[in-house]
Structures are given as C-alpha cells and as structure tokens.
Structure 1
Amino acid sequence: MILDIFFPNRCIHCNRIIDGDLLVCNLCFEQIHFTHFNFFEENYIKEKCKLLFPIKNAFALMKFEKENLSRKIIHELKYKSREKAGKILAEWTTERLDFKKEKPDVLVSVPLHPKKLKERGYNQLHLFTETLSRFYGIPFSHNLIKRNHYSKAQALKDKQHRLETQNTFSITENITDKHILLIDDVFTTGNTLASIAWEILKARNNKVSVLVIAMDE
C-alpha cells in the first residue's frame, strides 16, 4: 500500500522498518523480559494477589521494569492508538500460557469508564481478550464489570490515591459457580483487580484467576 511506502511500520524500540503486523524487530524482541510463570503453580504475581483476595491461579506475560521495552509496549497499547498491539500481545501470551484441561469459564477485562473510553476511543484490553477467547475457545464478556467512577490514569496517581478503589466497580448480572479470569494490562498495587475480584467473590462459589500483560515488581 502507498501508506506503507511513505509511512512504514517501525520497531518501537530501535526504529528499524519491520512488517506491518509487528511491534518490535527480532533483535529487540530478545530484550523483552518474559516471566515464564506457570499458571497453575505458585509465582510472584499469585503471591501478591493472595495478600489481597482469594485467588486460584495467576499469570503475567512480561516484567514491567523501569526503562524496559515492556514499558514502551504497554505505552503503545494504551496511549498511542495502537489497539492492534493487543492482538500481538495475545499471540505472545498463547505461546506461553497453556490452560491444559482446566480452563476458566469466562474472560473478563478491566473496564474503562464510559468517559475514558470516549476519550481514548478504545479499550486497550478488548482486542487482547477477544484474541485469547478465539484461541482458547473461552467466552469473554466486556459488560460483566462496570466501572462506576471516572478517574485519571493509574500512572498519574500517587500511591495513596491508587489505594482508594472502594466502590469503583460493580457486577452487572448475577453470576454463580463460575471461574472468572480477570485480565488487566499492568499489575502495580493490585488494588484494581482486588476491587473487582471481591465483587465477583460476593456471589456463591465463584473463583477468580488473574492474567496481566505486565507486572511491576
């Protein structure tokens, strides 16, 4: 296409010209710090979640380190209108996450407030979640969780404000006996996921697992 000639896709890290369906070149891909966590075993993110709410399993794709490539990738996904990055990240996830015979019942991503969704134009987690849904054959819901309050980005808040998540979320329908996989982009304090998890766990016999694209250590 003409646009590809005049505006070629470039690696977000080194600026090399790359195929249009890629985020980084092969050389820079080797610099990404993947976690290699086992979803069904104890790992760092599961230990952090256990301090906040009862959790069944947990997985993080990458480490979210200062000045690391993963931080650039998340920034592209959230703030650079690179919604298609979600599909690439989902493909990286499927190469490293095997649910074996014990799949969650539903995939649920952390929602944006309608005002934030209008400002950004898309939820950065929707395409990621939908791609995983197709690959694993697990239903997803973008409407099960409702965000009740508009707030500025987590990255712009101080630690105290990030802890203030009471009544931030609510469940839009009755759910029982379900294993919900909560999906978020970055795990920082874990309080956003905890707020949603407790809403889900209020209902009888529900279980919660967590999947994040990156985790901040």
Structure 2
Amino acid sequence: MHNITKLFDLIFYSLFPKTCAHCDTLLKKGEDTLCFKCHFEIVSYPYSWDHSEENYIINKFEFRLPLKKAASFFVFESPSVVQSLVHSLKYDGNQKVGKWIVDFYMDDKKKVFFEGLDIMVPVPLHPKRNKERGYNQVDVLCESIEGCTNIIYQKNAVQRVKYTTSQTKKTREQRLKSMKGVFNIPDPAVINDKNILIVDDVLTTGATIESLGNTLTESGAKSISILSIAVKM
C-alpha cells in the first residue's frame, strides 16, 4: 500500500509539479510554497509584536487610530520574495500561502499577541471584487490563526458597501477620500464591547485600516488591533 501511495504521489507530482512562488524553480522534497533559497531571503517584521515605543505600526497610526496591539509577519519591498508571496495569494489563487505563513511563522511568542483579543475580522472585499477573485485573500490566514489560538474569526462582521478602484498607486490623501463610507457593520452586537483584530494583506498608507477601525469604534468596538501579512516601511 505504501508503494502504491508513493507511486501515485510521483505521478501526480510529474503531472502537476509544484514551483517556488518567487523564482519558479521546481520544489524539492521538503520544500513548500518557496524553495529553501528564497525562503531564507524573506525579511521578517523587525519589531516586537507588542505595544512598545519601537513598534513601527503603532507609531504609524498615532493620532489617527488608537491601537491596542499591532504586528506584521513580513516587511514588504518591491521586488522581493514577500511581494511574490502576496501576489501568489492575491492574484494566482494560491490560498495555501495563508496556511503556510501560519505553519512556518506562528511560534509561541507570536501566539501571545492574540491574548486579550476577542474577535478577528478581515478587511472585506466588495461583492463585485470578491466575485472577480473568488475569495478574500486573508481568509485562509485567519482560519489558520483561529485554529491555533483562542481568537474567534468573524468573517462576515463587516461589509464593504462601496466599490473602490485599486488603491495600489494612490496617495494617502486619495485613499482616505476614497475610503469614506466604504464599510458597514450589519450587526453591531457582534462587535460591541469587543477587542477586535483587523487582518489585512499589505499595510501601506493605512487609509483602509484607519477607515475600517473608525467604523468599528463608532459601532461600539472596545479596542482595535492590527495584523498584516506584510507592511511597507
């Protein structure tokens, strides 16, 4: 039976070879999503996952959105391995990237970050964008985090009611203007008096998070925290 399984795996791998999300080389045994070479090129978030004065994200939102906690797995640069990972997750349908990130980078020290947080919400996609893409890119990440911590994932706690064009090349001022009235809380009781963690893919100007965080606060959230896959510094 073992030999049959190995044969099946060999045939499947030959027909559907897995390649590195960054350099496209064939992955070897023991490699997943990235080859070992590219894996070691990843730049992790250099600050502690706590509310220290050195926390870049906490300081980024000073006077904009009071934060309880803030963290990111990686630093976003272009071009980079992290950029390829995000692109693979967001545009190539490779949802497994979210689980891979948690499997490789969620150690016990990082799990402490989620203590004292009640629910986790994604930055939601507009229904039109969700239909185009077929999924929210942070879903699997959030589900994987929920599976190894005590935080609850409330996938539908927030709705995106206003369609916005891509924010990638917009300035902070343009993003802030376009983000007005974008989000809605269908059932405020779900988030009322809760310590909420907002999860996003890439944190750039922070305009989207700022808008969503303020909407949640105005609807009764007790506190706001942020977690992103990557942050542009």
Q: Tell whether the structures are fold-level matches, with TM greater than 0.5.
A: yes
Letter in 2 for 1:133: E
**1:37 CA displacement:** 2.7
Of 27, 32, 35, the residue aligned with 1:25 is: 35
Post-superposition Cα deviations, 1:84-105, rounded to whole Å, max 9, x if no partner, equal 1111122234126132683310
Q: Within 5 A, what are the aligned runs for 1:38-117?
A: 38-42=48-52, 43-95=55-107, 97-99=110-112, 102-117=115-130
Q: Confirm or deny that 1:206 pairs with 2:215.
A: no
Question: Counterpart of 2:99 in 1: which secondary structure?
Answer: helix
Pairwise CA distance, 1:163: 2.3
- Write out per-residue CA displacement over residues 63-97 of structure 1, whole angstroms, 9 at most, x where no aligned residue: 00121111111011100111111111222341261
- Shift of the 41–54 alpha-carbon distance from structure 1 to 2, 3 Å rule, reads closer
**CA-atom RMSD, angstroms?**
2.0
Within the candidate set 204, 207, 214, 1:191 is matched to 207
State the 1:4 CA deviation. 1.9
CA contact (8 A) 1:180 1:208 kept: yes
Share of identical aligned residues, percent? 32
| 8 Å contact kept, 2:51–2:68 | no
Aligned residues: 217
Q: How much has 1:160 moved relative to structure 2?
A: 4.3
Secondary structure at 1:103 match in 2: coil
Contact 1:36 1:61 in 2 (8 A): no
Instruction: Give the Cα separation in 2 of the matches to 1:20 and 1:154.
Output: 37
- Counterparts of 2:60 and 2:104, CA distance in 1: 23
Give the C-alpha shift of residue 40 in structure 1: 1.8
Say yes or no: does 1:216 pair with 2:228.
no
Alpha-carbon spacing, 1:147–1:33, altered in 2? closer, same or farther (3 Å): same
CA offset at residue 204 of structure 1? Answer: 4.2
The alignment's TM-score, normalised by the length of structure 1, stands at: 0.92
Cα distance in 2 between the residues matched to 1:94 and 1:167: 34
2:182 to 146, 168, 188: 168
> What is the deviation of 1:127?
0.8
Give the drift of 1:6.
Answer: 2.4
The answer (yes or no) to whether the contact 1:171–1:200 under 8 Å persists in 2 is yes
Among 179, 190, 195, the alignment partner of 2:195 is 179
In 2 relative to 1, CA 29–15 (structure 1 residues): closer, same or farther, beyond 3 Å?
A: same
Matched, 1:4 2:17: no
Give the TM-score of the pair, scaled to structure 2: 0.86
Partners in 1 of 2:111 and 2:161 — Cα distance?
Answer: 33
Moved more, 40-49 or 185-194: 40-49
The answer to whether the 8 A contact 1:170-1:199 is kept is: yes
Q: Secondary structure at the match of 1:200?
A: helix
Residues of 1 paired with 2:49 and 2:175: CA distance?
Answer: 26
Q: What amino acid maps onto 1:135 in structure 2? A: C
* Amino acid corresponding to residue 166 of structure 1 in structure 2: K
Q: Which has the larger radius of gyration?
A: 2
